Chain A
Amino acid sequence: MSFSWTRVEAIFRKELRDYRRNRFVIFTMSALPLLFIVLTMIQLFAINTGSSAKLNDRIGISMLYLLIIPTMVPSALTAYSVVGEREQGTLEAVLITPVRSEEFLVGKALAAFTPTVLIAYALFGLFLGAAELFAHPGVLSAIFERSHVLVQLLFTPLLAGWSIWMGIAISARSTDVRAAQQLAVFASLPPLGVVALLSFDVIPASVALALGLAAALLVLDGFGWRAVAAIFDRERLITGSRD
């Protein structure tokens, strides 16, 4: 039986329904973005002409705040995805259907990816709108002059991808939801560190460099997917620790 998008969709829809009624998820999806958009705006409005170096630093920080959203939100969601279902006893019920491990994982991943990227892009749009309307005129042109827009657009889905595979991998090997969530947040951070170097011009930011790093992260995401698919051991998930 080959890979079935119908089954992926069944998992995906179930997850989104479950999110909508899960207070913790609603909180994560609204509080984190809210916090970081506020921080971003504060940076934005604190900018007045000043030196161009200062200006760039502040914009760099703002951009970085925005990228924390696609990094942290999915790790909170996916860390729960396998161990959570195991704890609530639904994992066995799902695994006894014809669903393949890959379909289950892709469904889970897309369910974390889609809302995350939508929220992150929406906030970036909001940020640009606010910069255009309210910030110092130099700010918007400074944002567009550099590779900031490209970095945001590229790294939002790529960072989310990394966090998602890390979160699912940790979740598939954990026996406790809380431990999985803490670990997943830590595991999601390293690529953000690289982006930080870029944002603060520690590594001189250029379009070519940004593209190169993005390509590297894309390859890592690909490895992440393979690793997760390999780690997902039905037998272990069914018999381990809960019996």
Chain B
Amino acid sequence: MSGNLPNRRLIQGNEAIVEGALAAGCRFFAGYPITPASEISEILSARMPEVGGTFIQMEDEIASMGAIIGASLAGTKSMTATSGPGFSLMQENLGFACIAEVPCVVVNVMRGGPSTGLPTSPAQGDVMQARWGTHGDHPIIVLAVSTVLDSFEITVRAFNLSEKYRVPVIILSDEVVAHTRETVSLPAWEDLEVTDRISPDTPPEWYVPYEGSSSGVPDMAAFGKGYRYHVTGLVHDVRGFPTQRPEEIEAFTSRLFRKISQGFHEIQKVETVFMEDAETAVIAYGSVARSAHRAVIMGRSQGLRVGLLKLVTLFPFPRRLVEPVLHQCKAVLVPEMNMGQISREVNRVNSSACRVIKHNRFDGQLITPEELMPRIEKMTS
């Protein structure tokens, strides 16, 4: 057996991530067990060999991250999955993927933290870590999933963006999305749009491995294809060799950022519900976006002009899509299962008179539509 599983299925979020990854062409997975992400490893240990790919359980998350980078350099789309403690361990090698521009996808199924925290409870405390966890200036893409279908579709999207921009992509899920079972119709593989990195077609002697084209994204040769070049975590020149020349360092770092900022229109994605005539809005992501969606429907049935802005891309923060909402609304509510992380971003980009109201929960419980209702009513009145 290989390829797609039957179309309509009752599956959990973690399983949908697995199917999304396989559909996107991921053929290498390395991981280390951790709640609430373990199902991704367990299912892939069976699915990967079925499709001719490789699953390996490594000795820790540092090793898992290293292994997926290695596999990607050898030309195979790769992924790892973890939760908070493991995500912390991955940070150094994640930075390597950023500086060496190695496509790969890292799933963090968030649980309560810090440290061992709340292993079986949902949280959204790793948002800023996903953006800034590895040291140094670096671009990175962070996407959030809020439903089982999201978990499939956004995983495909994560691979596509990673391949196109040669940047690691983080998928933030949480314990609720990961373990919720829903019946979903998964698209057939052949109906999906799948992006692959661009391999050089120049003769090897003309290949300049880190010379960005106008897009800023260099063509990527897989090891073993005749293009012998050097890959390093040191800042490097266009040939991949370490450099300490100020003009080369500046050109390099600028290009890393430019290749992402030129793609903002494609990378940044949000979804809106009832926003056309909204006077107030809820800005949410992850499992909280589901509660917010419900609350907005409840609000509308009471005649409140409230809408939902669901963030799919968390970073690069979709400023150009959030700003119009802040100009349109007199107030926005930002519910999060943390002490307030995305609300800081919303505040940062807010240049209008819109009030940004935080709603934070950090007791290991999901934010419910019922608890959002009074906040929405108050903000609307």
Asked if chains A and B come from one complex, the reply is no
A residues in contact (CB < 8 Å) with B: none
Binding site for A on B (CB under 8 A): none
